[in-house]
Amino acid sequence: MLSITTVCKKYISILAILFVACETPSSLQIHQGRALGTSYTIQYEGVFHQYAQYQKSIDSLFQVINQSLSTYWPDSDISKINRGDSLVVVDSHFKKVFRKATTVWKKTDGFFDPTIGSFANAYGFGPQKPLRRIGMVQLDSLRQFTGWEKISLRENGTIRKDHPAIYLDFNAIAKGYTVDVIANYLLEKGQQNYLVEIGGEVVAKGISPKFQKAWTVAIDDPQQGAERRFKTTLSLVDEALATSGNYRKYRIDSLTGEKYVHSLNPHTGLPVKSSILSASVRATDCMTADAYATALMVLPLEKGQELIASATNLEAYWIVSQGSTTLEVSTKGW
C-alpha cells in the first residue's frame, strides 16, 4: 500500500540527472519544463526541426494523463470517481495504471495500495490540507474506506467501489507511468538514444549522444546540507530507475540521536518509525520501479530485501540512517 512517501515524493527531488556537458551539440535535443507538479527533462538524439512537434506531443500527453489520473485536477476522471461518480468510463491510461497497481498490491502483500489516500488526506498529506494528528476513532472510521480489495475495474470501464467514499490516489505510480508513455512515444518516432526524467523518475534508452556512453544518473546524499551532494552515481542502459524517500521530513530520537522517517502502515493507517531514508529501484519500466520504490519505504528493510530478491528484473538500493551517518544497502545485481 501507499505510504506517506507517496506524497513526500511530490515535494522533494531525490534523484538528479547529472548534466555534465557545458554545451549542447546540434544532435542533442533537450525539452525542459514543469508538469505533474514537478520538473521534467527529456533528451534525445535528433534534429532541430523535430523539436516543435515533439514538444506539442509531449504537452498533449501530459494533458491527457492529468485528465485521467490527477487528483489535483477537480474535473479529472479520478477526481470524479473519488467524489462517488460511478458512471465514469476510464481510459486506457487509467486501466494500465489500475492493473499494475493490482499486481504490485498482491506482490507486496498489500503494502502498496492506492486507497490509502483516505489516511493520507486525513493526516493532511493530500491536496490543500494542513498537516494534523488524527485519533483512533477517526482511524477506525477510515479503515472502512481503505483496502484495494474493496475496488475493481468493470469490463465496461467503470470503477466499482464498496463504498463511495473510497479515495483513489495514483501519485506513487502515475509519474513513473508518464515517463514510460513519453519514452514509448520517442521510441515510436524512431529514437534509439534518449533519456526521459520527470521529478527524478527516469527511463534511459541507448547511450548519451554527447559522450557516446551510457546515461549517468545520481542519487542525492541524505546528509547533505545547504550545498547539494550526491550519494552515488550509476549508469543506465535500456532500463528505468525510480527513487522514493522522505528523509527531509524526519525526527531525531532524543536518546539515541537516530534519524527516523514516518511512513503510514497501510494495514492500520498508523505511522511506522523507519530508519530507511530513501529507496531506489531499477526495473525494465518506470511504472513498476515507481510502485516498488514506494513499497520499500513502508516495508522493513529485511522484508524489502526479500521482496526484491524474489522478483524478476528488479534491483534495489537503500540509504539507511545510522545516527549521524548513513548506510548503503543494495541487492546483488544493483
What would the pLDDT profile of 259-302 be if each residue is shown by its tens digit? 555 578 888 888 777 889 899 999 999 999 999 999 999 999 99
Q: What is the pLDDT of residue 314?
A: 97
Identify the bridge partners of residue 16 per DSSP, sorted by sequence position: 218
DSSP letter for each residue of 71-133: TTSTTSHHHHHHTT-------HHHHHHHHHHHHHHHHTTTSS-GGGHHHHHHHT-STT-----
Q: For helices 92-107 and 174-188, what crossing angle results, to 10°?
A: 120
Weakly modelled stretches of the chain, pLDDT under 50: 1-14, 16, 19-25, 128
Name the one residue in this structure whose C-alpha cell is 488526506: 121
164 grid coordinates = 463511495
Amino acid at 129: K
Grid cell at residue 81: 470517481
Q: Can you list the alpha helix ranges (DSSP code H) found in the chain?
A: 5-8, 51-69, 77-82, 92-107, 117-123, 136-142, 174-188, 286-298, 301-310
Sorted by where each starts, the structural domains of the chain and their CATH numbers stand as: 1-238 (3.10.520.10)
79-131 pLDDT tens trace: 999 999 999 999 999 999 999 999 999 999 999 999 998 888 887 765 545 55
Torsion angle of C-alpha atoms 72, 119, 103, 176, degrees rounded to 10: 40
Whole-Å CA distances, 104 to 6, 211, 259: 15, 36, 29
Residues in the chain, total:
334
- Pick the closest to residue 15 from 314, 221, 289, 313 (CA basis): 221
Tell whether pTM > 0.95: no
What one-letter code names the amino acid at 99? R
Cα separation values, 172 from 8, 61, 71, Å: 10, 18, 12
Any bridge partners for residue 326, and if so which? Answer: 321
